[in-house]
Amino acid sequence: MDKMDRRTFLKGGVIGGALGLFASSAYASYLPKLYPTPPEIEGSFYPVLAQKDKDFDLTRIQGKQGVAKGKIIIIQGQVLDTDGNPVADATVDLWQANAAGRYRHPHDSNEAPLDPNFQGWAIVPSGKEGKFRFKTVYPGAYPASDKWTRPPHIHFKVSKKGYIELITQMYFPGHQLNDSDLLLKRKSKEERKLMMSSKVEDKPEIYAYNIILQKV
């Protein structure tokens, strides 16, 4: 992807009216406090293998010609504080399983195949308005134990000086495994809503997910 394409892709990360309202600090002063995004465990598959390519496009790896397998989706959102103000230049760290449910991690014993063209991990700063946008694939479900299959999800670690670092997991609406997931079941109904993305477009398939940080 050349520089112009990257610039166009990032500029395309406008989510809609709700985010536009949140982005206005003048309007935000009239809004009620927002609930922080619920934290979740980091899990055992945080990336440990060194890789140079950690940009916003997880469907390609720098230096390779292939494209990741699976349904390509876009995740876009905004990092906000509990007053509804954008958090500019936050570090947004994202990692996930590939379309078959396999992580690029040496401790993942899942027998599903690795995808040599799937980046699997990205670290980018949010923009001046706290916005972020990733191109990736819809993650596959995978067995966590003999009796527990994890639903598709994406891990986030978001940090910025002056705010409490947040580790959480984003889920996809309507997936049948959400109701039986042991981690999600520990959360209240309100917390589960805050961890669920919303589908905002079909072609391309785009999901919106805001992340709310607490100040220190």
Supply the residues annotated as catalytic.
Answer: 103, 142, 150, 153, 155
- The Cα 176–Cα 163 span in angstroms is 34
Q: Two tokens at 172? A: 């996809």
State the amino acid at position 117 in one-letter form: N
58: left (phi over 0), alpha (psi -120 to 50) or beta: alpha
Residue at token pair 């007053």: 83
What are φ and ψ of residue 179, in 5° steps?
A: -70, -25
Longest dimension (CA), the chain: 52
Are residues 170 and 197 in contact, defined by beta-carbon separation less than 8 angstroms? yes
Residue at token pair 């935000």: 28
Rounded to the nearest 10°, the torsion over CA 79, 158, 104, 112 is -60
Other residues' Cβ atoms within 10 Å of the Cβ of residue 181: 21
Query: Looking at residue 14, what DSSP letter applies?
Result: -
Q: Two tokens at 186? A: 């520990």
